[in-house]
């Protein structure tokens, strides 16, 4: 198992600054997912690790060796692409074993390794087929097998599930995770799909506009976002974010519409910035029919079966609340909203960063 380290890595295309001083350490055997929207620099970062893109500044180290000037084949990385990149005229066996053939390995040794990899990936019965005779999921497994057979120090995945339908993506996520548990190979996986990131990663790297917003476990990313961007980007729906000010005399949050949310002195900071954004997850709010809590007016409801997403207004700002599927909240009705102190998060609107708590 290999370590992977990025030190102040940058990439510029002319005047466009795509990757801006990225620092990242991937421990041996760790599965790290880089998550972010299109154009944030995540695929460029992966291609720089693979050696397919030259870096503008900084260092990339694999097993404590700087690989900046090494050719892709010399880095010990194997990459699985979004579009499979299989040779259409070759059989599954030939596609999987092509790198070994180029390396000059004997046919007997090559066949032994091909069959071992095919067995691991459930491809034994497809070895004589051409890629055109396979499903999307099978083709992606062939691409993974071609990477596996090289016994790389680092696996690199560039959005490998994007071309699959929803049901197949779920299946392939499980296969990738089980494969990693068996092989233990250090892995770096790029995606814009937060569900892939949450279900696959040991740690998630959230990127935005060429910079890292947060590096943490999926649990921490979801429950303690480090910035407004992470709070809004991760989760479906994302965080409810409400603008207002902090009234230190009452230790209360006052929304732009004048609604007051009293804060618990024992569980919330007493040194909050004057301008403030509070945030909470849709499932962390409870609607009640009485009390002095801020009011919530129901706008419309998305029925998802087991749950409902209730969209409405809290202090004149749009939010979404998740309730049980059998709960009745008629459109246009008014309720009170109760949120536990532990479920409230505070952000500085000037910096966009989380207020430490």
Question: Which residue range is the domain that position 85 belongs to?
Answer: 4-232
Alpha-carbon dihedral sign for residues 24, 29, 35, 41 = positive
Share of the chain above pLDDT 90, in %: 60
Q: Are residues 25 and 43 in the same domain?
A: yes
Q: Is residue 356 part of a domain?
A: no
**Residue that is last in its domain, among 232, 252, 278:** 232
Is 286 part of any domain? yes
C-beta atoms surrounding 252 within 10 Å:
14
Give the CATH number for residue 211.
Answer: 3.40.50.300
Per-residue model confidence as pLDDT tens digits over 197-242 = 999 999 999 999 999 999 999 999 999 999 999 999 999 899 999 9
- Say how many Å lie between the first and final Cα of the chain, rounded: 36
**Which domain-ending residue is among 232, 264, 289?**
232
Would 354 be classed as within a structural domain? no
Instruction: Give the span between the Cα atoms of 354 and 230, in whole angstroms.
Output: 10
Q: Are residues 206 and 69 in the same domain?
A: yes
Distance between CA atoms of 125 and 121, rounded to whole angstroms? 11
Model confidence band, residue 292 (pLDDT cutoffs 50, 70, 90): low
Q: Which of 59-63, 107-111, 311-315 has the lowest mean pLDDT?
A: 311-315
Does 352 map to a domain? no
342 and 297 in a common domain: yes
Please report whether residue 51 resides in a domain.
yes
Q: Supply angle C-alpha 190, 192, 194, rounded to 5.
A: 105
Instruction: Please check whether residue 74 lies inside any domain of the structure.
Output: yes
CA atoms of 24 and 248, how far apart (whole Å): 39
261 plus 219 within the same structural domain: no
Average pLDDT of 20-35?
Answer: 97
Residue 205 lies in a domain: yes
What's the CA gap between 157 and 85, in Å, rounded? Answer: 13
Q: Which of 213, 232, 251 is the last residue of a domain?
A: 232
Backbone angles phi, psi at 287, to 5 degrees: -95, 135
222 and 273 both lie in a single domain: no
Percent pLDDT > 70 in the chain is 98
Judge whether residue 84 has pLDDT over 70: yes
Whether residue 220 sits in one domain with residue 84: yes
How many domains is the chain partitioned into structurally? Answer: 2
159 and 224 belong to one structural domain: yes
Residue 353 in any domain: the answer is no
| CATH number (domain holding residue 260) | 2.40.50.140
Contact 51, 70 (CB under 8 A): yes
């Amino acid at each position: 198992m290999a370590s992977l380290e990025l030190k102040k890595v940058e990439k510029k295309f002319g005047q466009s600054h795509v990757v801006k001083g990225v620092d990242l350490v991937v421990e041996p055997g760790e599965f790290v997912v880089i998550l972010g929207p299109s154009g944030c620099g995540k695929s460029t970062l992966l291609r720089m690790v693979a050696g397919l893109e030259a870096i503008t500044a900084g260092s990339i180290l694999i097993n404590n060796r700087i690989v900046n000037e090494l050719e892709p084949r010399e880095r010990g990385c194997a990459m699985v692409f979004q579009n499979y990149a299989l040779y259409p005229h070759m059989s599954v066996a030939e596609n999987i074993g092509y790198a070994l053939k180029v390396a000059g390995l004997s046919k007997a040794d090559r066949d032994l390794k091909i069959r071992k990899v095919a067995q691991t990936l459930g491809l034994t019965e497809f070895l004589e087929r051409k890629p055109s005779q396979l499903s999307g999921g099978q083709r992606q497994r062939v691409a993974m097998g071609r990477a596996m057979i090289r016994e790389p120090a680092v696996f690199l995945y560039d959005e490998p599930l994007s071309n699959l339908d929803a049901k197949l993506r779920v299946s392939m996520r499980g296969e990738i995770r089980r494969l990693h548990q068996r092989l233990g190979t250090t892995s770096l996986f790029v995606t814009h799909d937060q569900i892939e990131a949450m279900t696959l990663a040991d740690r998630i790297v959230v990127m935005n506009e060429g910079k890292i917003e947060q590096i943490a476990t999926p649990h921490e990313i979801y429950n303690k976002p480090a910035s407004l961007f992470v709070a809004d980007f991760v989760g479906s729906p994302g965080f409810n974010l409400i603008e207002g000010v902090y009234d230190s005399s009452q230790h209360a949050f006052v929304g732009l519409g004048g609604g007051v949310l009293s804060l618990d002195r024992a569980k919330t900071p007493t040194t909050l910035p004057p301008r403030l954004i509070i945030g909470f997850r849709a499932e962390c709010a409870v609607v009640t029919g009485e009390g002095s809590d801020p009011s919530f007016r129901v706008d419309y409801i998305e029925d998802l079966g087991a749950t409902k997403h209730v969209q409405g207004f809290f202090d004149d700002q749009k939010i979404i609340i998740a309730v049980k599927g059998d709960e009745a909240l008629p459109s246009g009705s008014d309720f009170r909203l109760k949120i536990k102190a532990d479920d409230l998060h505070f952000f500085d609107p000037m910096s966009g960063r989380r207020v430490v708590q």
